[in-house]
Structure 1
Amino acid sequence: MNKIDADKLIVEYQQKIFGFAMSKMRNIADAEELASNIMLEIYKSFLKTDNIVNIEGYVYRIASNVYARFVDNEISNKHIDILKIEYPVTESGFDNIENGETYKKLRKEIGMLSNRQRVITYMKYYKEMSVMDIAKKLNISVGTVKWHLSDIRSGLKEKIDMVKNSNLSVNPIYFINMGHGGSPGKNGDTKDMFDSRLKQNIAWSCYYQAKTITDISKELEVPIAYIEGELRKLVEWGYIDQVDSSKNPKYLTNMYITDSREDFSEEANIKKEVAKFLCEKFFKDLFEKFDKAEDNWGMICPNNDKNYLKYNLVMMALSSFGNDWENWEELAVKRPDGGNFIAYATVTDDCVRQKPDDKYAGCGYMYDQVWRDNKQVLQSKQYNCIYSDRKIDWRSNTQEDWEDLYSYLSNGCDKEKISVSSFSNLSAKGYVVDGENQVTVINVKDGNLVTVINNFVANHIQIPEFIFEEGKKVDERLYEVNKSKYPEHLEKLVRYNNSNAFTWGEFIPYIVERMLEVGMLKPLTQKQKKAVFTVVAIDCR
């Protein structure tokens, strides 16, 4: 064929070739590269060939051959993205590409095969290799290849028309809140691990029922090749358990995942009742006694503002009701980076227009220590919620803050005696404003700082026994309304998370809300919000 005719034909088929490339690659950059390779091969072939009877079929055959080589070179049969490989079609033209629901289902089901079986499928049905050649290429026996092919054929025939029993592939979930109870490791916590929606959906898929990787893959309609690496990491880091040691083991998520799409209105009502009960039966008497204490029970803050200190008393009082860490050791998971915690998350999906009300969201309690010469010299306790002007995230509480604060306080609040960076950090956090410390301080002359922090209220007043009895009743009510919302295999964790309720930090915003309504508290200034619910005990010996 002469050059002029070849040029005309290339221009005529240019758009169709690019469309062919796009249908194969699903990616503009790869499609452009493939189209360029195809046009080069076709153009060279035109110049060498005369009297082509069926131009359409001729062009398509060359395009298919170039594509086959392109795929083979790119993936070398090892990491095959089946969603980018097209099922072989005839030379009937470009209009028949990707037609039919059966073909689409087949391609998805092939993507659910194991890595070995996907490779064998590709070699046999896409490259049309013989069984013997496949065996040599993969260094396995001919009998093994035949067994896999038989298993593949029967499996695909069974699955191709199966009815899906899940909608995760259509309406995947995502985590709106992630956190931990315990100590995060060097690599962070739940939020750092579940940095992709795929990981989140893997965990959710095997949350209520143990599933194999094949089950998970089918439910998400994501090829196993994409699932296995993420699943392996989630198992390694203790978020998902492998429950058996078979060739195709099952997996079960051990996190405490709350489905925000459930109805938690009864739980919210219980918490509001608790806030009302504690305000009337406990905090009213507590505040009256505190108002009479000229020394504010040893608590120090700017201007000895009793209203401000009462906010902190709310936090300190809950700790005095008991131990919210009971049975924690049994349920916490030790992570490879040194973390030791129970992982928490809250789930929603794209169909939920209204996200859960975060009015009562909180983060804490957060404890930090400062040591000097093998002696603990500072113990801090902090809780973050809507009434404190801090991010509701444990990351906003850093060891550097308490090191800087101790240096500032132990040097008589003289900014000239600490580094500029330390003073700047304290000022930026709002812990120091206009040269004055805003954090509530308790000077301890003897005794354990941790005990002082946790038992502060109990050390100054006797907590009535009926408060503890009421707490046990509330625990049982919360457990009864919540237990059906979580998997049976997490019964101990559900029981733990619905016990010692009166000690929970999450009651703080409910209690403060009630106190503001009835006038037991006055609103804080913006300056006070930066440091409220932050108390440090300092060894001043």
Structure 2
Amino acid sequence: MDKQRADEIITKYFTKIYGFSLKKAFSYAEAEEICASIVEELYASLLKARDINNIDGYIWRISEYTYSKYVSSVKKHQGISIDEIFLPFEDAYDLEDDREVLFRLRREIAFLTKTRREIVYSYYYENKSVAAISKQLDIPIGTVKWHLNQARHELKEGFTMERKIGRLGMKPIKAINIDHSGAPGLNGGPEFYLNDSLNLNIVYSVYYTSRTKEEIAEELGVTPVFIEDKICLLESNGFLVRKAGGKHTTFVGFAPPLYSLEKYESKLKKQLEIAKLLAKDYADSVRQAISDVGEAYIPSGNRELLEAAAIFYGVANKCVLDVKRDLSPYYIKTTDGGNYIVNVEMERTQADKDYVPTLQPTVMWACGNMVRCSGKYPVYSWSIDSRYSSRKGGWENNLVSDYEYLYEFMTGTIADDLANEDKFRRLRERQFISESNEVNIMVVQGAAEEFFNRIPNLNEGFKKQFADYAFEYAQAVVRDYPPQMRDLVFSWTAGGFISKEVALMVMDVLYANGTFQPLTEREKITSNLILFTDILPPDAKKDSI
């Protein structure tokens, strides 16, 4: 057979060969060794072969043959004895009746500590002497003997106990959404780590109850060796926190599995009451505060867009109740530079199924505050995406480079030509400029801090009207959370009782009562999005205010 055809066969069947090796091996390292031997033998055989009618059978035969050679040359002991428990070693052909015993032995070895597991494997399966293992691991001979003795006791104990598979081993959780508050790292937000189902369930396994590595493994129905690396990754990136006794906990937030619709609607009704009051007095004070901001560009020339953005910002950021809690433990610092609080949304079950809802379902989602600052140009953007905006992709699609490209366009640094094709494609994809090169987002000439400082704080008298309800509601909510999460939940529930949800309600009131006119499709592009910089767009004269 020619070399190219042999290469194609090896590539096609490599996964199956590796799977075969895994079934025969007691570790990933051994599986790789067996797999390499099979591939080497198979490749040499294929080059010598002429016609192969049954390629599947041929490969299987070569694999079994190679493994048999491996067994005879490497695994010289056909059985092992551990404290009077005689367990024959599995070879390629027999021991069908003892597979359950072998499985249990493998399982119990996997539950040993990493060092002990390595010593047992080296001594019993690789036939290494105590002295050789001592040299290999750079530990005293007496320590090796001690580990072997302890392993015998632990394996014997493991054989007499019934290991239980936890709930997550039977029904793992699934994330509907993974949110963060803070700065993502080079790899993105927490979904980089938690989109992996096993990682997510490892973290959740220590949410309500602190657990050791072995206890996590039992809860998930796997062996410790299978999750060691993942636990190390999650711990080194802050998703797991080590406690005394080798146990782990987490400060990642998960909502309780049950919720009360009646309690939720009660909160919404109180927030709607607040929103109606804010739409009267507070909204007017915000509009007045920014009335003399003149150096601004609004695509449609409709000043209501700027006023609505300022009101949304004010309600979401300057109406919070004063709650003093230390939230520093909840910020997860990752090795790729991330620094954020994490909340995982899962499917939840309504506890009060007999309750008849009294409010129409409304989407209360909002993504932000999103701030993007450039180190290259004097560019600062603020935005909150919601049902009032048409922007797609959330925070992941909101790039600093988008605003840098727009700045280059506004300053005339780049032209709409082949050299800048990618930049203009991106600007049009985000609809920041039109096909005719008109800027589609609001631009304020000046510093963002100066603009936002104009927006007044909500007076303390108004806050006190609702503080008692907010604190009482928060106290009821935190009871459903584990102790380590309660400061965060109380702070966000009580302190943020007037926040983005209420800001959306205020917008609903202002657009419904005619204070603001309905948004056009072009205006939805820039709704609650403002770019602060040192210049205005070239066409600012005809549309600026």
| TM-score for both structures, normalised by structure 1 | 0.70
- C-alpha deviations, 1:185-231, integer Å up to 9, x for none? 33333122334222222222222333222222232233333323222
**Equivalent residues of 2:300, 2:523 under 8 A apart:** no
Could you tell me how far apart the structure 2 residues matched to 1:231 and 1:281 are? 49
Determine helix, strand or coil for the equivalent of 1:442: strand
| Shift in alpha-carbon separation, 1:70–1:275, aligned structure 2, 3 A | farther
Which of residues 66, 69, 77 in structure 2 aligns to 1:66?
A: 69
| Shift in alpha-carbon separation, 1:470–1:441, aligned structure 2, 3 A | farther
**TM-aligned CA deviation for residue 99 of structure 1:** 4.1
**TM-aligned CA deviation for residue 483 of structure 1:** 1.0
1:205 aligned partner: 205
Output aligned runs, 1:455-534, within 5 Å: 455-458=453-456, 463-470=458-465, 472-502=467-497, 504-512=499-507, 523-534=518-529
**TM-aligned CA deviation for residue 496 of structure 1:** 2.7
1:253 aligned partner: 250
1:172 aligned partner: 172
**TM-aligned CA deviation for residue 241 of structure 1:** 2.0
Output aligned runs, 1:130-529, within 5 Å: 140=139, 143-160=142-159, 161-164=161-164, 166-244=166-244, 249-255=246-252, 257-259=253-255, 261-263=257-259, 265=261, 268-285=264-281, 298=294, 300-305=297-302, 308-309=305-306, 311-318=308-315, 319-322=317-320, 330-331=328-329, 332-347=331-346, 359-370=363-374, 377-391=378-392, 393-409=394-410, 422-433=423-434, 434-444=436-446, 449-453=448-452, 455-458=453-456, 463-470=458-465, 472-502=467-497, 504-512=499-507, 523-529=518-524
| Shift in alpha-carbon separation, 1:32–1:334, aligned structure 2, 3 A | closer
- C-alpha deviations, 1:233-262, integer Å up to 9, x for none? 322222222224xxx62222122x223633
Could you tell me how far apart the structure 1 residues matched to 2:92 and 2:337 are? 61
| Shift in alpha-carbon separation, 1:179–1:323, aligned structure 2, 3 A | same
**TM-aligned CA deviation for residue 395 of structure 1:** 1.8
**Equivalent residues of 1:408, 1:414 under 8 A apart:** yes
1:109 aligned partner: 108
**TM-aligned CA deviation for residue 283 of structure 1:** 0.7
Alignment length (residue pairs) = 469
Determine helix, strand or coil for the equivalent of 2:479: helix
**TM-aligned CA deviation for residue 107 of structure 1:** 2.7
Q: Tell me the percent identity.
A: 23
Could you tell me how far apart the structure 2 residues matched to 1:31 and 1:323 are? 62
**Equivalent residues of 2:374, 2:404 under 8 A apart:** yes
| Shift in alpha-carbon separation, 1:92–1:401, aligned structure 2, 3 A | closer
Determine helix, strand or coil for the equivalent of 1:122: helix
Could you tell me how far apart the structure 2 residues matched to 1:464 and 1:321 are? 8
Could you tell me how far apart the structure 2 residues matched to 1:95 and 1:306 are? 82
**Equivalent residues of 1:320, 1:503 under 8 A apart:** no
**TM-aligned CA deviation for residue 398 of structure 1:** 1.4
| Shift in alpha-carbon separation, 1:22–1:358, aligned structure 2, 3 A | farther
Determine helix, strand or coil for the equivalent of 1:535: strand
**Structure 1 unmatched runs, 5+:** 1-17, 42-60, 74-86, 350-356
Could you tell me how far apart the structure 1 residues matched to 2:327 and 2:416 are? 42
Could you tell me how far apart the structure 1 residues matched to 2:73 and 2:520 are? 67
**Equivalent residues of 1:279, 1:515 under 8 A apart:** no
**TM-aligned CA deviation for residue 534 of structure 1:** 0.5
**TM-aligned CA deviation for residue 532 of structure 1:** 1.4
**Equivalent residues of 1:275, 1:514 under 8 A apart:** no
Most deviating of 297-306 and 424-433 = 297-306
> Amino acid of the residue matched to residue 66 of structure 1?
K
Could you tell me how far apart the structure 1 residues matched to 2:199 and 2:108 are? 21
**TM-aligned CA deviation for residue 282 of structure 1:** 1.4
**Equivalent residues of 1:176, 1:347 under 8 A apart:** yes
| Shift in alpha-carbon separation, 1:469–1:407, aligned structure 2, 3 A | farther
**TM-aligned CA deviation for residue 281 of structure 1:** 0.7
**Equivalent residues of 1:320, 1:456 under 8 A apart:** no
Could you tell me how far apart the structure 2 residues matched to 1:20 and 1:366 are? 50
Could you tell me how far apart the structure 2 residues matched to 1:292 and 1:510 are? 21
| Shift in alpha-carbon separation, 1:535–1:370, aligned structure 2, 3 A | same
Could you tell me how far apart the structure 2 residues matched to 1:168 and 1:428 are? 42
**TM-aligned CA deviation for residue 393 of structure 1:** 3.0
After superposition, the CA RMSD in angstroms is 4.8
**Equivalent residues of 2:37, 2:66 under 8 A apart:** no
Determine helix, strand or coil for the equivalent of 1:498: helix
Could you tell me how far apart the structure 1 residues matched to 2:65 and 2:426 are? 66
**Equivalent residues of 2:290, 2:307 under 8 A apart:** no
| Shift in alpha-carbon separation, 1:266–1:398, aligned structure 2, 3 A | farther
> Amino acid of the residue matched to residue 194 of structure 1?
L
**Equivalent residues of 1:385, 1:392 under 8 A apart:** no
**Equivalent residues of 1:276, 1:514 under 8 A apart:** no
Could you tell me how far apart the structure 2 residues matched to 1:266 and 1:127 are? 64
Could you tell me how far apart the structure 1 residues matched to 2:142 and 2:171 are? 42
> Amino acid of the residue matched to residue 405 of structure 2?
D
1:79 aligned partner: none
| Shift in alpha-carbon separation, 1:494–1:259, aligned structure 2, 3 A | closer
> Amino acid of the residue matched to residue 177 of structure 1?
N
**Structure 2 unmatched runs, 5+:** 1-17, 46-63, 77-86, 349-360, 537-545
| TM-score for both structures, normalised by structure 2 | 0.69
> Amino acid of the residue matched to residue 364 of structure 1?
G
**Equivalent residues of 2:110, 2:224 under 8 A apart:** yes
**Equivalent residues of 1:175, 1:346 under 8 A apart:** yes
- C-alpha deviations, 1:486-518, integer Å up to 9, x for none? 221233323332243155334444554566666
Determine helix, strand or coil for the equivalent of 1:472: helix
Determine helix, strand or coil for the equivalent of 2:174: strand
